[in-house]
Amino acid sequence: MAQINMLDITKRFGDLEVISSTTLEINDGEFAVFVGPSGCGKSTLLRLLAGLDELTSGEIRLNNQRIDHLAPAKRGLAMVFQSYALYPHMSVYQNMSYSLKVAKEPKNVIDEKVKRAADILQLGEYLDRKPKELSGGQRQRVAIGRAIVREPKVFLFDEPLSNLDAKLRVQMRIELTKLHKALKTTMIYVTHDQVEAMTMADKIVVINEGRIEQVGAPLELYKKPKNKFVAGFIGSPAMNFFSGKVNKVSSTGIHFILENSDTLLFKKCQKPEVSVGENIQFGVRPEHFIFMKNQTQTINGKVYAVERLGGETYIYLNSKTDNDIIVHCSGDREIKVGENLDVGFSIKDCHLFTSNGWAIDK
Amino acid sequence: MHITDRDYQRAKIFRKLKKFLWLSFLLFPPALILITFIFLPMASALWYSVYEWNGLIRGEFIGLDNFRKVLLDPERNWFFFNALKNNILVFVSLMVIQNGTALIIALFLAREPKGARIYQVVFFLPVILSTVIIGFQWKMFLNPVFGLVNKLLNTIGLNEWALPWLGLPETALPTMILVNAWAWVGFPAIVFLAAIHRIPRDLIEAARLDGGSEWQIAKDIIWPLMAPAVTIIVVLTFIGSFNWFELPYIMAGLEGSPAYSTDMLGLLFYRTAFGSISAGGTEFGVGSALAVIIFLLIFLFSIIATKILTAREVEMG
Amino acid sequence: MSGIEKTNTVRLENALIQIFLATAALFMLYPIFMMVLSGFKTTPEIFMSPFSFPERLNTENFQVIWNKTDVPRYFLNSVIVTLSSIILLLVTGTMAAYAIARYKFRGTLMVSLFFLSGLMLPIRLAIIPLFIQLKYLGLIDNLLGLIFIYTAMSLPATVFILTGFLRSLPKELEDSARMDGASELRIMIDIMVPLISPALVIAGIYSAVPIWNDFFFPLIFIQSPEWKTLAQGLTSFFGEYSINYGVLYAGLSLASLPMILIFIIQSRRFIAGMTAGALK
């Protein structure tokens, strides 16, 4: 059983507050991903969990027992570092067995545990090699193996795939997910790549400037982002945003007009807490634009760039609105730069946000 | 088990204490050695110089009296200024002969001729030998009758040149300077070479393509960009010249014979502090004052030279 | 100037450079060579035919030195002093450098300045108080006194060199070792120090040469013949055998041997080490 609770965590470096009053629960066996832009504090949060940095205030609990006063090695956690942090002068075997050696475990126990971890990760033939003789992917597996050997209650991963090339990254994503299913241990994973978050997580924690923006399953964050930040962060390419003004509020929804447009749009809302004349933000994902003719709601724009990936195509439009529009469509659609395009969308797939960025209830 | 806030605070304090103890453990032994054997003596040297000494026993406070004795007392100050003159002579000569040759060697080696690596090793070889060995070796070579130098000169017919090199006041110091240059030329040569290697290839090649001669390239590009190394060598040569002790001691003796022509501040200091046949007993007070004066000379020069020469240094990269 | 002419000029330049360098190299080596060569001659031989090769490789002089003089004893003393100083130096130097390089604490700057300032202080000039102090500690005429002085003298440069190298090690190595449960001491010994072993060699060489060659401190602090170091012992040796040139040259050759051997084997490290201080 390994449940992590972070209660009201704050971390300050001098005068700079990098983590503000954060509370979070991670359940036993979950694969939780901390995701956010660079500098948002996700790695700091992980390091606080690991014990490599000290809390300014708050509590960390493992299975409801406080652990934030314990040394890193005594917390029952193991960490895989971004640069793997393998000891260069030691062999793979020595790297993996170091923690056990420090704990003065008998040789046969060490041997058994290392061999077992090596088998899981297919490192058997590399045990005598030194890190510099291994490829990036192999080194990463050694780093994971080192963590497995410690039989921790929770695994911590600090952007482990960032140093790998794109192809290897895809491969390792699947490997890690398989590993999680095999070991069934709680895993906390930090990354800035929302693709990794979406594909691997049971639960995603979106962090921005030291605060948690939203916690939830991947699809939940995709379909129901609580604020503009999460909406724009999850999903690639990012959601398109337009400004609008509230025209009329009724008991069923909101009537609003997009800037630089005459079209009156209506969105169903249960408890709209906006007033007439208020500015709002309107978001449509690139993949939610429709090309069928005679759509009621459309946006017009002039194509200035087309990116063809073969299986899909991205179209970039200049429109009368402030922002450029990115549209995602299938690979065989014929589009030329300079063309004038009307793209349609369904209100169902769109998101409304107040000017402060909070989602207006569906 | 419920951890109270107090337990938590205690754990935190304990951790801080552990860190403090660990750092103290790391820093204490080296700091102790440094303080006991360097800082304390240096501070004491300053302290001793303002007291009167009777052998090993400290007497009264006499202010700058010891300094006066060294610099102004007519019986003594001849020795001081003579030695000072010699040290300056050594410095200037070494700058020209030793470091000048070193520069040429470095420039040549920078062109990577065949065997450059071997040349580096060969030139550096005398640097690693003890000054005592070199002093004795050359003393024997320079022996007027049995030494190799004069024998060689005789063999090639330059009999008039077969002088008692170390025995004549006019030749003793120049001879020692040449010996020092022979022994130490490798050091500045390697330092200069390393500095030249640091200059980006492109600069030199661009100059060559522009049609510059080797001399021009050396003067306009290499020399300015070597400035940091030059600064270091100038300062080190000065310090070395003013610290000259072993070489004159071995080759000419404690009194700077003949006729004090090879007397150095270092020798004078030793005589004053520890006594000698001619100077009489130990004079710790005066010796300390002399030491402080020498230290100030070196210190002031180092600072001034560094300031002046650093202004020349060009930031690269 | 046409291409071919230019090449010829360059070729001429290179040839001249080679001549210059070769001559200079010869000039460097010849005296040392003669010194060693003469060690194999008898003294009359030296006087009569100084430049020719010895009639036979006469090891008599060396035997005299080995059996009849105190030179072996001086040699041993030098070895003891130099080795002990280097060991003490590297251990304490690493400790100080580690504290400065790997930890942030109030006064990091002060401490590193403290150690660095030692670089600028010419310890020789404080010889008088040093003498009195050693007398007080009972370390006069004692190899231990020399060891401490040499260690103290070499600490600033050593700490300087080692701090640079230790700083360059990534912090993640430390973090990983902490997660593995290693104590700070273990991290230092198992992980960090092994990774800077080249720096230790460089610092060791940089300090060992001046210590081995030093003459000044033994001259002042060592009086009994049985504790004299090699550089110092040579002076009394010379006093004793003043005209026996064969034995004298042999003595000088023997005294030079260790340094020359190590130098030839490790020349690149050696040069790097000795100029490390100057080049920073």
Nearest C-alpha in B relative to C151: B33
From chain C, the residues in CB contact with B248 under 8 A are none
Q: Which residues contact C112 (CB under 8 A, 6 or more apart)?
A: C100, C159, C163
What percent of chain A lies above the pLDDT cut of 90? 54
From chain A, the residues in CB contact with C180 under 8 A are 73, 98-99, 102, 146, 150
Q: Which of residues 45-74 of C touch A (CB under 8 A)?
A: none
- Give me the CATH number covering residue C187: 1.10.3720.10
> Residue B44 in 3-state DSSP?
helix
Contact (CB<8Å) B132/C235: yes
Contact (CB<8Å) B8/A68: yes
Q: Which residues contact C50 (CB under 8 A, 6 or more apart)?
A: B148, B151, C34, C38
What percent of chain A lies above the pLDDT cut of 70? 98
**Is A103 in CB contact (< 8 Å) with chain C?**
yes
Residue C95: pLDDT band (50, 70, 90) is very high
Nearest C-alpha in B relative to A67: B3
Express each pLDDT in A206-253 by its tens digit: 999 999 999 999 999 999 999 999 999 998 899 998 888 888 888 778
**Is B304 in CB contact (< 8 Å) with chain C?**
no
Q: In sequence order, what are the beta bridge partners of A302?
A: A318, A340
Q: What radius of gyration, in Å, describes the C-alpha atoms of chain C?
A: 24
CATH of domain A240-354: 2.40.50.140
Nearest C-alpha in C relative to A155: C179
**Is A291 in CB contact (< 8 Å) with chain C?**
no
Residue A276: pLDDT band (50, 70, 90) is confident
What is the average pLDDT across C212-228?
Answer: 88
pLDDT of residue B155: 80
Q: Where are the domains of chain A?
A: 4-233, 240-354
CATH of domain B67-312: 1.10.3720.10
pLDDT of residue A218: 95
pLDDT of residue B317: 36
Q: In sequence order, what are the beta bridge partners of A330?
A: A312
**Domain assignment present for C179:** yes
ipTM above 0.95, yes or no: no
pLDDT of residue C176: 93
pLDDT of residue C84: 96
Cα separations in angstroms, C50 against A239, B75, B165, C32:
94, 46, 19, 14
Does C67 have pLDDT greater than 70? yes
Q: What radius of gyration, in Å, describes the C-alpha atoms of chain A?
A: 25
What is the average pLDDT across A336-354?
Answer: 85
Please state, in angstroms and rounded to a whole number, the distance separating the CA atoms of residues A28 and B92: 79
Q: Where are the domains of chain B?
A: 67-312
Split into its structural domains, chain C has a count of 1
**Domain assignment present for C95:** yes
Residue C208 belongs to what domain range?
Answer: 70-240
| Residues A326-356: b if buried by 16+ CB within 10 A, e if exposed | bbebeeeeeeeeeeebebbbeeeebbbbbee
Chain B: closest CA distance from residue A90 (Å)? 25
> Residue C106 in 3-state DSSP?
coil
From chain C, the residues in CB contact with B241 under 8 A are none
Omega prior to A237 cis, within 30 of 0: yes
Of the partner residues B29, B40, B239, the one whose CB lies closest to the CB of residue C92: B29
Contact (CB<8Å) C182/A85: no
What percent of chain B lies above the pLDDT cut of 70? 94
Place of tokens 């080797």: B214
pTM: 0.81
CATH superfamily for A4-233 is P-loop containing nucleotide triphosphate hydrolases (3.40.50.300)
Q: What radius of gyration, in Å, describes the C-alpha atoms of chain B?
A: 26
Q: In sequence order, what are the beta bridge partners of A319?
A: A301
pLDDT of residue A295: 66
pLDDT of residue A92: 94
Express each pLDDT in A121-148 by its tens digit: 999 899 999 999 998 889 999 999 999 9
Residue A23: pLDDT band (50, 70, 90) is very high
pLDDT of residue A174: 92
pLDDT of residue C99: 93
Kind of pairing between the strands at A289-290 and A298-308: unpaired
Residue B35: pLDDT band (50, 70, 90) is very high
DSSP B210: T
Express each pLDDT in A83-135 by its tens digit: 889 999 999 999 999 999 999 999 999 999 999 999 989 998 999 999 999 98
A interface test, pick of B1, B5, B8 with most A CB neighbours within 10 Å: B8
Nearest C-alpha in A relative to B16: A54
Q: Which of residues 181-220 of C touch B (CB under 8 A)?
A: 184-185, 209, 212-216, 220
Please state, in angstroms and rounded to a whole number, the distance separating the CA atoms of residues B286 and B69: 7
**Is B18 in CB contact (< 8 Å) with chain A?**
no
**Domain assignment present for C115:** yes
**Least confident window among A126-140, A210-224, B165-179, B213-227:** B213-227
From chain A, the residues in CB contact with C194 under 8 A are 89
**Domain assignment present for C161:** yes
User: Would you state the structure tokens that stand for residue A220, as one six-digit string?
Assistant: 């939940």
Determine the residue type at A147. A
Residue A51: pLDDT band (50, 70, 90) is very high
What is the average pLDDT across C55-60?
Answer: 78
Contact (CB<8Å) A69/B3: yes
Taking the C-alpha atoms of B86, B87, B90 and B95 in order, what is their torsion angle to the nearest 10 degrees? Answer: -140
pLDDT of residue C251: 85
Q: Which residue in A3, A72, A42 sits closest to A189, CA to CA?
A: A42
SS (H, E, C) chain A: CCCEEEEEEEEEECCEEEEEEEEEEECCCCEEEEECCCCCCHHHHHHHHHCCCCCCEEEEEECCEECCCCCHHHHCEEEECCCCCCCCCCCHHHHHHHHHHHCCCCHHHHHHHHHHHHHHCCCHHHCCCCHHHCCHHHHHHHHHHHHHHCCCCEEEEECCCCCCCHHHHHHHHHHHHHHHHHHCCEEEEEECCHHHHHHHCCEEEEEECCEEEEEECHHHHHHCCCEHHHHHHCCCCCCEEEEEEEEEECCCEEEEEECCCCCEEEEECCCCCCCCCCEEEEEECHHHEECCCCCCCEEEEEEEEEEECCCEEEEEEEECCCCCEEEEEECCCCCCCCCEEEEEECHHHCEEEECCCEECCC
The DSSP line for C8-76 is HHHHHHHHHHHHHHHHHHHHHHHHHHHHHHHHTS-HHHHHH-SSSPPSS---HHHHHHHHHSSHHHHHH
Contact (CB<8Å) B1/A65: yes
